[in-house]
């Protein structure tokens, strides 16, 4: 395993976007009544985080070793 495994700008950005998705989704579920559109926006951010990671990795912001 690389010494810099997961410690790249691409990985950090992907994780931050995924965490934002979980946060938005949980806020939608905690409302009374439940705000399902907000929940689904949070769910939509999760696959977007994977796309952001792979695009940034291909741009050279990933682990190049």
Distance CA 5, CA 43 (A): 26
Is residue 48 domain-resident? yes
Q: Which residues lie below 8 Å from residue 10, measured CB to CB, with a gap of 6+?
A: 52, 53, 56, 57, 59, 61, 62
Share above pLDDT 90 across residues of the chain, in percent, rounded to a whole number: 78
Count of structural domains within the chain? 1
Q: How large is the average pLDDT for residues 55-61?
A: 92
List all residues 6 or more positions away from 49 whose beta carbon is below 8 Å from its beta carbon. 14, 15, 17, 18, 21
Give residue-wise pLDDT tens across range 2-28: 566 678 999 999 999 999 999 999 999
Q: Is 21 domain-assigned?
A: no
Find the domain containing 58 and state its range. 30-65
Give the predicted TM-score (pTM) of the model. Answer: 0.85
């Amino acid at each position: 395993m690389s010494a810099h495994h997961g410690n790249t700008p691409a990985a950090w950005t992907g994780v931050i976007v995924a965490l934002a998705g979980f946060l938005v989704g949980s806020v939608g579920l905690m409302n009374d009544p439940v705000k399902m559109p907000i929940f689904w926006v949070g769910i939509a951010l999760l696959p977007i985080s994977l796309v952001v990671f792979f695009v940034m990795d291909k741009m050279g912001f990933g682990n190049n070793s």
